[in-house]
């Protein structure tokens, strides 16, 4: 399995559950397409649940950054939920950890959307 994506609504927040590998090719393009689809349908509060992501490469990091900036440019917010240690470490060494609003708990993440 490369990557599995599923979307659900919690109030007015769209939660995108991601599982598997976000790497160059199928994984990163699937994430990009799903985020674009959500935005094209007017969803502006997006919570990216990365709790089941086993692997992410620089292309996957790039998709996270692109998603974050695109949503923000459209007046929305993208937050991250449930980072594994490896993903957290990657965001820290690339100095992106403080760029994203990161949460460990879904309920508090949903509340954080203003």
Partner 1 sequence: MGKKTGEVQTVDQFLDSTLESVDSAEDLVLDVAQKAGFPEEDLHKIGMAVRESMVNAVVHGNQYSAHKKVHVSVSKGPDRLTVTIADQGKGFDLGTVPDPLADTNILRHSGRGMFLIRAFMDELQVRRLSPLGTEVTLTKYLGRK
Contact residues for partner 1 (CB under 8 A)?
Answer: 23-25, 57-59, 61-63, 65-66, 68-69, 86, 90, 93-96, 99
Residue entry with tokens 């599923």: 6
19 or 65, CB closer to partner 1?
Answer: 65
77-81 and 45-56 beta bridge pairing? parallel
Give the whole-angstrom CA distance, residue 97 versus residue 85: 12
At closest approach, how far in Å is the CB of 9 from partner 1? 28
CA distances from 25 to 18, 22, 60, 106 (A): 16, 9, 9, 29
61 or 112, CB closer to partner 1?
Answer: 61
At closest approach, how far in Å is the CB of 12 from partner 1? 26
């Amino acid at each position: 399995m490369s990557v599995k994506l599923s979307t659900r609504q919690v109030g007015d927040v769209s939660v995108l559950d991601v599982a598997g590998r976000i790497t160059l090719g199928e994984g990163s393009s699937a994430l990009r397409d799903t985020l674009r689809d959500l935005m094209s349908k007017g969803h502006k509060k997006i919570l990216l649940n990365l709790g089941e992501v086993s692997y992410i490469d620089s292309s996957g990091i790039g998709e996270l950054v692109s998603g974050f900036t695109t949503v923000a440019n459209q007046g929305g917010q993208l937050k991250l939920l449930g980072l594994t240690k490896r993903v957290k470490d990657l965001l820290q060494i690339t100095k992106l950890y403080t760029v994203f609003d990161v949460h460990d708990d879904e309920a508090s993440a949903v509340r954080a959307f203003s």
